[in-house]
Amino acid sequence: MDLCIKKFIEFEAKDWDKFVYSNSMGWAHLLYDVTSIDRFSYWKNLSFGIVNKDNNDEIYMLVQLYKTPKNLNSRWGYILKDNLSKKQFNKVKICFQSYIQEIINKYSIEDFSISLPPLSEKNNPKNCSLVNPLIYFNFFPKLRYTSIIDLSKPDEKMLADCEETTRQAIRKLKKSDKYEIVESTGSKKDLEEYIKLHKETYTRTGAISGIINDKYHENMFFNLIPKGICRVFFLKNKQTKKYIASVAILIFKNTAYYWWGSSTNYKEIGINKYLLFNVICIVRESFNKTGYFETGGTYIYLRNGKSKGLTDYKKCFGTFLHPIYMGSYLSSETKIKTKNNNSKNKIKKRKIKIDKKINIKKIEKSGNLIFQ
C-alpha cells in the first residue's frame, strides 16, 4: 500500500464529496464547496487527502485545513475511511503526521487546533464515543459543548420544551401577524440583503473583525443553496416589505446546523427567536420529523458577556448539551518541549523540598519548630 498526499486543488469535487457522504465521519462542513471558500481573505486553504496510489488514488482520509497568520486551523477536522484495519490506520497516521510536521516547519506554525463535527453519524448523540478520537492522532484532547434539538420528539413538545420567555415571544409575534418568513432562492437581490444584515449586525455588536468576506456569502447563495446544502430564511415585515432578520443553516442528510444569524436594530422583542424557531420547524418537516438540529456552541458556565447572551439564545429552544471533540496538535517538537518543561518542574519541586528541609533544620536548632 503506497500512501501519498493529494492536495485539495488536485481533487475532483465529485470524488471528494462521494467520500464525505459515504463515511460515518462526514458532515456538511467538510463538503468540497464548503471547504473551497476561506472564511477570511487572510486564510490559506491547505486542505488535503491521503490516498492509496496502488489502488487508483483510493481515498483513506480527507483533512480540512487552513493556515492563519501564525497557526493551523481545522475547524471541522477530518474524515477517515470506515473500517480501516489496524495496519491501514497506522500507515494513514504516519502519513498524516509526516505531512503536518512538514507544514509546521515550513510556515513556523505555533499552534494547530482542530474540532470534529458533532452531527456526523460517528459523533452524533446516538453513536458518540466516550473517548475523544483525536488522541489517536496525537492531539491533546479538549472539549466544549453545543446545543442540539432532537427533531423526532412529538409535535407538542417542540414549543413546550422552549423556555417560558421564548414561548411567550413566539406566541405573541405569531398572533400579531405582522411578519412573514421567506426562504431565499439564492438570488442576487437576496444576497445583497443578506450581506447588508450580516455587516450591520457585526458592526452594531462591536464584532467588526468577524465580518466574513463577500465571496464566502456568494458561494452560499450561488453554489450551496441551489445544491440544497444551505438554506437561508428572512423575516419580512409585511407592512414595510423589508427584511429585518435572517438565518442561514447547513443541511446534511437529516441533520442541520444554525450557521449564521443576523438582524437590523429592530425594536420588537423576540424576532430572532421567532424566526429561528419557525426555521427549525420547517426543517423538521423536511426531515420527516427525524434527525437533529444544532443551534451551536454553548458556554453554560459563563455568568456575563456577549458569549453568555449567545448561550442563552442558543439553548432557549428546548435543547440538550452534546460534546464537541477538540484538540491541539502535539508535534515532535512540542513533545520534547513538554518533556523538558516536566523535567524543570520536577527539579523545581525537588528544590522546594530541599529548601523546606533546610528551613526546618535551622528552626529546630533555634528551638522553635514551626511548620512552614
CA 272 – CA 232 distance, rounded (Å): 14
CA 303 – CA 300 distance, rounded (Å): 8
CA 179 – CA 21 distance, rounded (Å): 37
Q: Which domains does the chain have, with CATH numbers?
A: 3-115 (3.40.630.30), 147-326 (3.40.630.30)
Looking at the DSSP bridge assignments, the partners of residue 150 are 292
pLDDT value, residue 41 = 77
- Give yes or no for a contact between 295 and 85, defined as CB atoms under 8 angstroms apart: no
- Give yes or no for a contact between 181 and 234, defined as CB atoms under 8 angstroms apart: yes
- The contacts of residue 57 (CB under 8 Å, 6+ apart) are 6, 51
The amino acid at 84 = L
Residue by residue, pLDDT tens for the chain (372 residues) are 899 999 999 999 999 999 999 999 999 999 999 999 877 778 899 999 999 999 999 999 999 999 998 899 999 999 999 999 999 999 999 999 999 999 999 999 999 999 999 999 999 999 999 999 999 999 999 999 999 999 999 999 999 999 999 999 999 999 999 999 999 999 999 999 999 999 998 888 777 667 788 888 999 999 999 999 999 999 999 999 999 999 999 999 999 999 999 999 877 889 999 999 999 999 999 999 999 999 999 988 888 887 888 899 999 999 999 999 999 998 766 543 444 445 445 434 444 343 444 343 333 333 332 222
Of 21, 8, 1, whose CA–CA distance to 84 is shortest? 1
Q: Are strands 58-63 and 78-80 parallel, antiparallel or unpaired?
A: antiparallel
According to DSSP, residue 136 is labeled G
Q: Are strands 292-298 and 255-263 parallel, antiparallel or unpaired?
A: parallel
CA 34 – CA 80 distance, rounded (Å): 18
316 φ, ψ (degrees, to nearest 5):
-85, 0
Question: Cα–Cα–Cα angle for 11, 260, 234, nearest 5°?
Answer: 115
Contacts of range 57-61, beta carbons closer than 8 Å, 24 or more positions apart: 57/6, 59/15, 59/19, 60/3, 60/84, 60/88, 60/92, 61/92, 61/96
What count of residues does the chain have? 372
pLDDT value, residue 209 = 65
The amino acid at 86 = K
CA 368 – CA 265 distance, rounded (Å): 71
| pTM across the whole model | 0.86
CA 236 – CA 227 distance, rounded (Å): 24
CA 156 – CA 63 distance, rounded (Å): 41
